[in-house]
A and B are shown apart, each in its own frame.
Chain A
Amino acid sequence: MNTPQPAASGLWRDAIRRFSKNKLSVTAASIIILITLMAIFAPLISPAHYSEANFDDAWQFPSLTHPMGTDSIGRDYFSRIVYGARISLIVGFVAQMISLLIGIPLGAIAGFVGGRADYLVMRLVDVMSVFPSLLFAILIMAWLGSGLSNVLFAIGITGWVGVCRLVRAQFLSLREADFVRSARSMGGSSTHIVVRHMLPNAISPIIVGLAMGIPQAIFAEAGLSFLGLGINPPTPSWGQMVSSHLPNVIYYWHLALFPVFMIALIMLGFSLIGDGLRDALDPRMNE
């Protein structure tokens, strides 16, 4: 352990150093960490359960007892916002994981095997790209019905195209790299070469893609819930909160303002982290 692997640790150490020097990225990261903590500790933070209705307190504006007011059936709006972070983060991460699980193997096959396999995968990608992904997700939701697991599936299954293209492009260039040729000439199996040599070298664009994909997934969930095809009530989702209170915004402004603000904040946070990671992971970036 006294001789650290020079190249790898150098890259990551540099990346962390570059990332932490970027004030915007650090701010964004702390926002996301805060939202994550909020989601994890929701039962501790929120004054009431998200589905607890106190009918006599309905339609209240923000006050000391209800910092974000109450909704049409007297549920504490702050509690619903706090619990809503769970849905957004679950959707952001899980849907991206599904996309990665589909996109990385397909991209790897296309890029590494090439030829007929590449052709087939890329035509599938073309077909998927023809549909706007939200439209495709709406189609799937209409078929499966609403609910969290269906939302995850619908967004994941429509989001893998970008990852697939990214991985394929990386693999195409890596396939001809010297260290891959050396590994092959020394008798390394295909699996060994892909898993040990090619994937680690393709990882940084994948991470950036992941960070950029999360806000898209969150926004897609908000969009589906806005259309009434997303999360089932009473589970709070920010998108659904916006949609169900849009007609009320002309007077009960707090009902649409807070969820819109949270959607904007989480989107901005993840997008800025993605930007920061892209810069940080690029070895050509030197200060």
Chain B
Amino acid sequence: MRSYISMALMLFLRIISILTAFGLSVYALTFAIESDNGVQYTNSIGVLLPPGAAPPEQQVLKQFSEERPYNEWFRTVYKGAAGKYLIAEPLTRTDQNFELRGGAAERWEVSEDGLTWTFYIRPGLQWSDGHLLTAHDYVFSLRRGADPENAYDFGWYYQPIKNWVKVVARQMPTDSLGVWAADDLTLKITTESKTPHLPLLLTYSWASPEHTVKKHGDAWSTRPETSVSSGPFMVTEWTRGNEMILEANPVYRGVDKPYLERIIYKMFNSTTPPQRLPAYEAGEVDFAEIESQAELARLLSDGRLKDQVHSWPNFWTHYLFYDTQKPPFNDRRVRLALSLAVDRDALSRSALKGFAVPAYAMLPPGFPAYGGDTFKTMQAYDPERARQLLAEAGYPNGRGFPSVDMWLRNEPIMHRDAAEGLQALLQRNLNIHIEVRNVENKVFMDGLNNHTFQFGMVPYEFDFVDPSNLLGLWMSNGRHNWNNKAFDALMIAAGAEVKDPNRRISLYQDAERLLVEDIAGVFLWHKQKAQIWKPYLKGSALEPNHIGYRSWRGDQVMSSSLTLYIANL
């Protein structure tokens, strides 16, 4: 009797479970379709996830981010939180191969004289509160960037735009800026001179919402309640010092719809940086930056973690600069002597091990107009010839060489070690003593921009993939006291070459040749990025592209970064 009851109970339970499983699978079928790799899901904003992706509720990315007051690109870059890249739509974006593609602008054209650009805004774009995203928002945004009252910290970047410099300097009103809307969907921009890379420049044009800024002022981006979004994500929660949560924007009408449902930023203050690797190992974040050789060595020695470590080249050049107008560095022989006395390979093998490759020119490998290999031989490590050149310049065995300070901009320990390596190399090979002076950012930038430093070491990381970005800072009005009219002329000619991209590239190559041959600076190393990420984190941004570069930089700047998703393991 008892066995019958238990059998009946078992049967009943089995029926229930079969029914439940059937119900669940029917339920799942409404959201997922079968594919070769099993179930394929659709996320809450209607994007079909790639095969092998985890269900939508697991599409959450957790990462560290520095706590900063604002969350709006055109308010401030350096005091702006990481969400600013995702809650607004830029006019253009680049893909994994750095190819330009449309963002808010679906196409653009330039006038016959190369000075007036027309951007056609995609129809139907909107802010998360229902307002339409129009050309007027971009006019407002760029004027906001130029407005002296806004004191924008990234203003130098937009100087090619007509009257930008004058507006910033209060010589002209903001509405005289060369940006206006012909109609709701047509944005016009004029430039000071021909600027073929303007669409590339405008990958950094995350729009500010005119109607919201007018209503709430600068504070609009500081609270989720007043924050609106025209981008793939929107801010739903921001508890200061703790977390910022972004969720996929359900009314986003742009082209870069994300797979992820949610991004959780774990906020930290720059004064108390987080323990990145322990947090990563504890599963609090899905990826982490590797910042020292010890971290890299420890991870690579760990059989479980070493496959999660990735490193790839970054478009980043560290170089020594000279004041070429004053002795001793007004003599090209002295500049060349220093360049030949620096063993770049040795630095990349020791202090910078795993984080750098030797550099022989400003443009890094893989960058358009790269020519580093051809400049390598003329700067190859040759202490003998370096000593000879220094003697010819009047300092035999370093005698009489003035004491020189090498200025550094608030460098981390790894780069300070490399600077000590440089100090040792110059002492050993040329018998000249230099003092390494690592100073804080403001002191350094004042000294650099006022040309009061004779000698120093500084990095430059690219903003957009065009030679004008990395070479432009060497022009006579730039940050270094190397004034070369021929270089300026080549840079201007290349900048004005709108029609023939190949001629443009070769002009930039000529310009860089002048730069390197005159030893305006000593190019030391290109930085390698190193990160660790979980095996379930996937996406084309994490994959090497045709030049071995990964467009993933730890933030979601490029459109390919929006392809991140969480895979089923």
Chain A positions near chain B (C-beta within 8 angstroms): 51-53, 55-56, 58-59, 71-75, 146, 228, 232-234, 244-245, 247-252
Interchain CB contact under 8 A, A233 and B350: no
Interchain CB contact under 8 A, B423 and A55: no
* Min distance, Cβ A138 to any Cβ of chain B, angstroms: 14
User: How far is it, in angstroms, between the C-alpha of A77 and the C-alpha of B148 when the chains are bound?
Assistant: 53
Residues of B within 8 A of A233 (CB): 416, 420, 423, 436
Residues of A within 8 A of B295 (CB): 247, 250-251
Binds A, one of B181-189, B341-349, B474-482: B341-349
Interchain CB contact under 8 A, A248 and B347: no
Interchain CB contact under 8 A, A252 and B297: yes
Interchain CB contact under 8 A, B425 and A53: yes
State the interface size on chain B (CB cutoff 8 A): 31
User: How far is it, in angstroms, between the C-alpha of A232 and the C-alpha of B298 when the chains are bound?
Assistant: 30
User: How far is it, in angstroms, between the C-alpha of A207 and the C-alpha of B95 when the chains are bound?
Assistant: 73
* Min distance, Cβ A117 to any Cβ of chain B, angstroms: 42
Interchain CB contact under 8 A, B421 and A53: yes
* Min distance, Cβ B455 to any Cβ of chain A, angstroms: 15
Residue in B301, B347, B435, B438 whose beta carbon sits within 8 Å of that of A55 in the complex: B347
Interchain CB contact under 8 A, A58 and B350: yes
Residues of A within 8 A of B438 (CB): 228
* Min distance, Cβ B476 to any Cβ of chain A, angstroms: 31
Interface: B294 (CB within 8 A): yes
Interchain CB contact under 8 A, B294 and A73: no
Chain A contact surface mostly: loop
User: How far is it, in angstroms, between the C-alpha of A117 and the C-alpha of B421 when the chains are bound?
Assistant: 54
Known contacts A55-B350, A56-B346, A232-B436; decide if A73 and B298 are in contact (CB<8 Å).
no
Residue in A228, A234, A245 whose beta carbon sits within 8 Å of that of B424 in the complex: A234
Residues of A within 8 A of B416 (CB): 233, 244
* Min distance, Cβ A263 to any Cβ of chain B, angstroms: 19
Interchain CB contact under 8 A, B294 and A247: yes
User: How far is it, in angstroms, between the C-alpha of A110 and the C-alpha of B483 when the chains are bound?
Assistant: 63
Residue in A53, A56, A72, A75 whose beta carbon sits within 8 Å of that of B293 in the complex: A72
* Min distance, Cβ B444 to any Cβ of chain A, angstroms: 14
Interchain CB contact under 8 A, A73 and B435: no
Between-chain CB contacts (< 8 Å), 19 pairs:
A51-B427, A52-B424, A53-B424, A53-B428, A55-B421, A56-B350, A58-B351, A58-B353, A59-B297, A59-B350, A59-B353, A72-B293, A72-B351, A73-B351, A74-B350, A75-B424, A244-B417, A247-B294, A248-B293
Residues of B within 8 A of A251 (CB): 293-295, 297-298, 301
User: How far is it, in angstroms, between the C-alpha of A58 and the C-alpha of B353 when the chains are bound?
Assistant: 9
Chain B positions near chain A (C-beta within 8 angstroms): 291-295, 297-298, 301, 343, 346-347, 349-351, 353, 413-414, 416-418, 420-421, 423-425, 427-428, 435-438
* Min distance, Cβ A241 to any Cβ of chain B, angstroms: 12
Interchain CB contact under 8 A, A58 and B294: no
Output the residue of A71, A72, A245, A252 with the most chain B CB within 10 A: A72
Residues of B within 8 A of A252 (CB): 293-294, 297
Starting from the known contacts A250-B294, A251-B295, 8 additional A-B residue pairs (CB-CB under 8 Å) come to A51-B424, A51-B427, A52-B424, A71-B417, A72-B421, A233-B423, A244-B413, A250-B295
Residues of A within 8 A of B427 (CB): 51
Closest to B296 in A: A251
Residues of B within 8 A of A247 (CB): 291-292, 294-295, 413
Interchain CB contact under 8 A, B413 and A56: no
Interchain CB contact under 8 A, B436 and A72: no
Known contacts A73-B350, A228-B438; decide if A248 and B424 are in contact (CB<8 Å).
no
Interchain CB contact under 8 A, B417 and A73: yes
Closest to B291 in A: A247
User: How far is it, in angstroms, between the C-alpha of A244 and the C-alpha of B412 when the chains are bound?
Assistant: 9
User: How far is it, in angstroms, between the C-alpha of A59 and the C-alpha of B353 when the chains are bound?
Assistant: 9
User: How far is it, in angstroms, between the C-alpha of A51 and the C-alpha of B301 when the chains are bound?
Assistant: 30
Residue in B291, B297, B347, B420 whose beta carbon sits within 8 Å of that of A234 in the complex: B420
User: How far is it, in angstroms, between the C-alpha of A234 and the C-alpha of B301 when the chains are bound?
Assistant: 31
Residues of B within 8 A of A232 (CB): 435-436
Residues of B within 8 A of A51 (CB): 424, 427
Residues of B within 8 A of A75 (CB): 424
Output the residue of B294, B295, B346, B349 with the most chain A CB within 10 A: B294
Residues of B within 8 A of A250 (CB): 294-295, 298
Closest to B436 in A: A233
User: How far is it, in angstroms, between the C-alpha of A244 and the C-alpha of B411 when the chains are bound?
Assistant: 12
* Min distance, Cβ B197 to any Cβ of chain A, angstroms: 38
Residues of A within 8 A of B297 (CB): 59, 251-252
* Min distance, Cβ B442 to any Cβ of chain A, angstroms: 13
Interchain CB contact under 8 A, B343 and A55: yes
User: How far is it, in angstroms, between the C-alpha of A234 and the C-alpha of B433 when the chains are bound?
Assistant: 10
User: How far is it, in angstroms, between the C-alpha of A232 and the C-alpha of B295 when the chains are bound?
Assistant: 26
Residues of B within 8 A of A249 (CB): 294
The 8 closest A-B pairs by CB, nearest first: A58-B350, A55-B346, A248-B294, A251-B294, A53-B424, A72-B417, A251-B298, A73-B421
Residues of A within 8 A of B436 (CB): 232-233
Residues of B within 8 A of A53 (CB): 350, 420-421, 424-425, 428
User: How far is it, in angstroms, between the C-alpha of A58 and the C-alpha of B350 when the chains are bound?
Assistant: 5
User: How far is it, in angstroms, between the C-alpha of A182 and the C-alpha of B153 when the chains are bound?
Assistant: 76
* Min distance, Cβ B353 to any Cβ of chain A, angstroms: 7
Interchain CB contact under 8 A, A234 and B423: yes
User: How far is it, in angstroms, between the C-alpha of A146 and the C-alpha of B297 when the chains are bound?
Assistant: 32
User: How far is it, in angstroms, between the C-alpha of A248 and the C-alpha of B301 when the chains are bound?
Assistant: 14
User: How far is it, in angstroms, between the C-alpha of A233 and the C-alpha of B436 when the chains are bound?
Assistant: 7
